[in-house]
Amino acid sequence: MTPTVPLALPPPLSLAEAGQVTRAERRDSSSLLDSWSRRTKRSSSSQRLLQEKEALQEEVIAQKELVWILHRALEAFQLEKRSCAEFLAASGEQERMELLQHRERHAAELQEQLQEARGGQEDLRNSLQLRDAEVAALQDDIRRLTERNNTKQEVIMKLCDQLTSCLSSGGRSDSQSLTQLQQEVENLKDDMEAYRTQNCFLNSELYQLTHLWRTSSQQETSLMLKCSHLEARLCQVESRYLGVLRQLQENKALEPAQRGAVQKMIEDALKGGLKGVIRLDMARDHDEYGFQIVPEYEVEDMKLLAKIQALEIRSHNLLNQDGADRPLIGRWAQFLAGRSSDDLCASPELKGLLRGGVPREYRQQVWTWLVRARTRSARERHPQRYQQLCEKSDASPRPVSRQIQLDLHRTLTTNQHFSSPSSPAVQQLRRVLLAFSWQNPVIGYCQGLNRLAALALLVLQSEEEAFWCLVAVVENILPPDYYTKQLLASQADQRVLKDFLSEKLPRLSAHLQLHSVDVSLVCFNWFLVVFVESLPSDLLLRLWDAFLYEGSKVVFRYALALFKYKEDDILKIQDGVEIHQYLRFFTKTITDGRRLTSIAFSDMNPFPGRLLRNRRVLHLQRLQAELQDLEDQQEEFLTENLTENRRDDKELDVSEDEF
């Protein structure tokens, strides 16, 4: 046990010493109290000073805000004073009104700027929210990547531990396996080097073969181009040969034997056709939509002229089939790059592109947008309209179905897609026309609608889109009463065309009037079917590109352009019957589509839409008045005829007793 050590106690104090100690302790305690009270007072005063400082800072901020408000108010008062001074300094009421209007405009501009600033602030707030969302998403990605990285590190550490344990426990037994593995690695390296050498050899062989293929492809392209030019040259030579024969045929100074020889040469040329022409591709006789590139002619008395025009068309197509449309395709590709059909919107650029024509690669997309833009409200109200109308037409046939069935086999008979009665396109056309007869019971069906719907089917490749295209043309683009029983709007358009013809082409109009040629006999069908089967397919589709966008004014432009294109040829014909025969087929002899488009949209300017609308209203009113006069005359005739018949019956009225 540890011995206890006695504590040393201090000696006892005397009473005097104890008093002195007591007084010293009291003094010490009083001094401590004083120092603590002084410190307490000092800390409380510092806190009070800090509070006063904060209050003063707040007051200073409030004073600054007050000064800023007063400064703004002063500026406003000065501006108001300046405005009042300017207003009072104005010499008259006119100047004061101008000052007031200027101030109002300035206030409106400031209001617009304020609205724009608020809109910009809202956009910035939205963009900030989007950025915050993106930052949050990125932070989540970082967190996931960090967790994935940690997991991979753990896996790597475990594998390293396993490898270390294997190396430590394997010893000498694993040395042989490592040697074998090294040997296999060396062998694989040798194999890789051999394969690499072989790959280089094969790459060089592929390069040489690719070079040979490109060279042969270029040679083939050049040979095809050369053959096209040779074929075009041959067509030109044959066209000139037939032209010479035609001039010899019209030459009356030839002897009978010479005239017979010329006639025999003409018959041989017409019978021979184009058999001697080099045909590179039989599919060239029809375009991508199935239309004939070289049209057939029905004019019996002008076969030679038709053959000459056909050769010119083929020559022009052969010379311009390569590279002519590349700039246009490039412009359309640039315009449609990154846009869907819903992103297109009306613009001068789109208008100019449509007037130049839409390439086949983009025509279906552009037409679909044009049709949907014109029928958007109706389609939104009835999204399943076409399916409902098809079901209704199947359930209850209409009287017009018989006429539709008869016209199906008369539709685009020269087109490959409608040449057979069992063709799927014919059945699609039947369903579209029946659905439209239910869609518009006022019209039902009118001859000509079959051609409009057929063209829409060929381009849009969809029954429903073709149906809505027909609705857009009949109900939105062309005037009302265009396809009703009386065809008033169609007749009015023919009178409007005659007015424009006399204004734009006065010489041709006078020539036609001199020979009593009524252009309505030819042009009425142009307008009723919008030139379907009246123009070559490439010109027809280019016309429809602009027609679906700009409206019926395009039909007038192209009609006048066609007469302008062939004005000199028509003026040379001095017989009314021959002029009428020429007008029946001359539209199919147009070879230069770019020139025709330039005439339609440049030479025919100015062509304001307001003038067209006013002319339509004027002639429609006149037609209605003439129709009303005709009805009044018929009614008067029937009334007089009935009265006279009754009077005659009374004179001849005898009783039975007299016989």
**CATH value at residue 565:** 1.10.472.80
Question: What is the rounded CA–CA span in Å between residue 623 and residue 604?
Answer: 27
**In which region does residue 275 sit, left (phi positive, over 0), alpha (psi from -120 to 50) or beta (all else)?**
alpha
pLDDT at residue 28, as a whole number = 57
Same domain, 417 and 486: no
Residue 413 phi/psi, 5-degree rounding, is -65, -25
Write down the pLDDT at residue 281.
Answer: 42
Same domain, yes or no, for 471 and 368? yes
Confidence of residue 84 (pLDDT cuts 50, 70, 90): confident
Q: Give me the residues paired with residue 286 across strands.
A: 292
Dihedral sign of CA atoms 614, 615, 616, 622 in order: positive
Q: Which of 294-303, 317-326, 589-598 has the least mean pLDDT? A: 294-303
Q: Is residue 587 part of a domain?
A: yes
Structure confidence at residue 284 (pLDDT): 55
Q: Are residues 352 and 312 in the same domain?
A: no
pLDDT at 175 over 80: no
Query: Band of the pLDDT at 320, cuts 50, 70, 90?
Result: low
Residue 225 maps to a domain: yes
- Chosen domain end from 427, 462, 477: 477
Measured CA to CA, the distance from residue 501 to residue 510 in angstroms comes to 10
Query: Of 199-203, 213-217, 225-229, where does the model show the most confidence?
Result: 199-203
Q: Tell which wins on pLDDT, 246 or 284.
A: 246
Among 477, 504, 530, identify where a domain stops: 477
Query: At 638, is the pLDDT very low, low, confident or very high (cuts 50, 70, 90)?
Result: confident
- Sequence-separated (6 or more) residues with CB below 8 Å from residue 445: 400, 403, 404, 433, 436, 437
- Number of domains composing the chain: 4
For residues 160-165, average pLDDT: 78
Q: Are residues 613 and 496 in the same domain?
A: yes
Stretch among 449-458, 558-567, 573-582, 638-647 having the lowest mean pLDDT: 638-647
pLDDT at 96: 77
Q: How many angstroms separate the CA atoms of 319 and 306, rounded?
A: 20
Evaluate whether residue 412 is within a structural domain. Answer: yes
> Highest mean pLDDT: which of 36-50, 239-253, 291-305, 586-600?
586-600
Summarize pLDDT for 499-511 with one digit per residue, the tens: 999 999 999 999 9
567 Cβ contact partners less than 8 Å away, ≥ 6 residues apart: 505, 507, 508
Bridge partners, 346 (sequence order): none
99, 87 in Cβ contact below 8 A? yes
Residue 22 lies in a domain: no
Do 473 and 523 fall within a single domain? Answer: no
Q: What is the pLDDT of residue 529?
A: 94
Give the model's pLDDT for residue 498.
Answer: 95
* pLDDT in the model for residue 219: 76
3-class secondary structure, 296: coil
> How much is the average pLDDT of 160-166?
77
Q: Is the pLDDT of residue 249 over 80?
A: no
In a domain, 584, yes or no: yes
Between the alpha carbon of residue 313 and those of residues 233, 244, 268, the distances in Å are 12, 18, 21
CA dist., res. 231 & res. 415, Å (int)? 24
| Residue 326, domain member (yes or no) | no
Q: Coil, strand, or helix at residue 322?
A: coil
pLDDT digits (tens, 9 = 90+) for 53-81: 888 988 899 898 899 899 888 888 888 78
Cβ neighbours, 10 Å, residue 51: 10
Confidence of residue 378 (pLDDT cuts 50, 70, 90): very high
pLDDT value of position 431: 94
The pLDDT of residue 280 is above 50? no
Task: Specify if 56 maps to a domain.
Answer: no
Secondary structure (DSSP) of 1-15? -PPPPPP-PPPPPPH
Do 507 and 376 share a structural domain?
no
Same domain, 571 and 422: no
Q: Tens of pLDDT along 576-633?
A: 999 998 898 888 888 788 899 999 999 999 899 899 999 999 999 999 999 998 888 8
Is this structure's pTM higher than 0.85? no
From the number of C-beta atoms within 10 Å of its C-beta (0-12, 13-18, 19+), residue 548 rates as: buried
Residues 555 and 413 in one domain: no
Q: What is the pLDDT of residue 21?
A: 45
Residues with Cβ within 8 Å of 524's Cβ and at least 6 positions away in sequence, in order, are: 490, 494
Within-domain flag for 21 = no
Question: 372 is written with which tokens?
Answer: 């949907």
pLDDT at residue 316 in the model: 60
pLDDT of residue 238: 73
Are 190 and 149 within one domain? no
Rounded CA separation 330/338 (Å):
14
Q: What range defines the domain where residue 258 resides?
A: 179-320
Kindly state whether residues 452 and 496 are assigned to the same domain. Answer: no
Q: What is the mean pLDDT of residues 634-648?
A: 75
Q: How far apart, in whole angstroms, are the C-alpha atoms of residue 547 and residue 382?
A: 25
Q: Which residue has the higher pLDDT, 320 or 246?
A: 246
Tell the burial category of 598 from Cβ atoms under 10 Å away from its Cβ (0-12, 13-18, 19+): middle
Together in a domain, 429 and 366: yes
Q: Which residue has the higher pLDDT, 305 or 333?
A: 333
Query: What span, in angstroms and rounded, lies between the C-alpha atoms of 585 and 581?
Result: 7
Query: What confidence tens digit (pLDDT) does each residue in 490-544 have?
Result: 999 999 999 999 999 999 999 999 999 999 999 999 999 999 989 988 899 999 9
- Domain CATH number, residue 380: 1.10.8.270
* Paired strand residues for 292: 286
Question: Looking at the structure, do residues 465 and 511 belong to the same domain, yes or no?
Answer: no
Residue 470: both structure tokens together = 């027909």
Q: Which residue has the tokens 């009428």?
A: 580
Confidence of residue 324 (pLDDT cuts 50, 70, 90): low
